[in-house]
């Protein structure tokens, strides 16, 4: 079973809405036989006081996953997400980019192994429920 680490912008977002969406994303990926994980599961634990502690924790988890799935909703840049992506790429993890079709100002499409463009959240779920990642 391939393990997928899910990265997405969190700072300044509605955490409860993101968690609700994450549950649906998990179901879509699990239906394809993947084992998804996101540090968003731990956001309320409040165990990391500084961002660098949080990133170090994320790096350890990324090390134990086969695939990094980045979900990009807007043009907003998330430093944490970009750092996680850079780390995953340096570790030669498979990089899947799920990006809203309205986001144009990014070079991430060129760095990814697979691009999933979506128009709304339901479209994202439909595409993730059909995701097939080649070796």
pLDDT tens digits for 18-29? 999 999 999 999
Instruction: State the total domains in the chain.
Output: 1
CATH number of the domain that 119 lies in? 3.40.50.450
Tell me whether residue 134 is in a domain: no
- Quote the pTM value: 0.92
The predicted model gives 6-25 an average pLDDT of 91
Tens of pLDDT, residue by residue over 79-99, are 999 999 999 999 999 999 999
The answer, yes or no, to whether residue 2 has pLDDT greater than 80, is yes
The answer, yes or no, to whether residue 45 has pLDDT greater than 60, is no
**φ, ψ for residue 94 (rounded to 5)?**
-65, 130
**Which domain covers residue 49, as residue numbers?**
3-128
Tell me whether residue 135 is in a domain: no
Tell me whether residue 82 is in a domain: yes
């Amino acid at each position: 079973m391939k393990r997928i680490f899910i990265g997405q912008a969190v700072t300044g977002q509605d955490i409860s809405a993101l968690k609700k969406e994450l549950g649906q994303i998990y179901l879509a990926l699990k239906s394809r036989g993947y084992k998804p994980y996101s540090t968003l599961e731990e956001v309320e634990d409040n165990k990391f006081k500084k961002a660098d502690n949080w990133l170090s924790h994320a790096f350890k988890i990324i090390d134990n996953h086969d695939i990094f799935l980045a979900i990009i909703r807007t043009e907003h840049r998330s430093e944490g997400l970009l750092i996680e992506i850079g780390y995953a790429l340096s570790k030669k993890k498979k990089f899947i980019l799920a990006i809203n079709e309205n986001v144009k100002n990014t070079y991430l499409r060129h760095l990814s192994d697979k691009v999933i463009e979506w128009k709304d959240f339901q479209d994202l779920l439909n595409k993730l429920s059909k995701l097939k990642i080649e070796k």
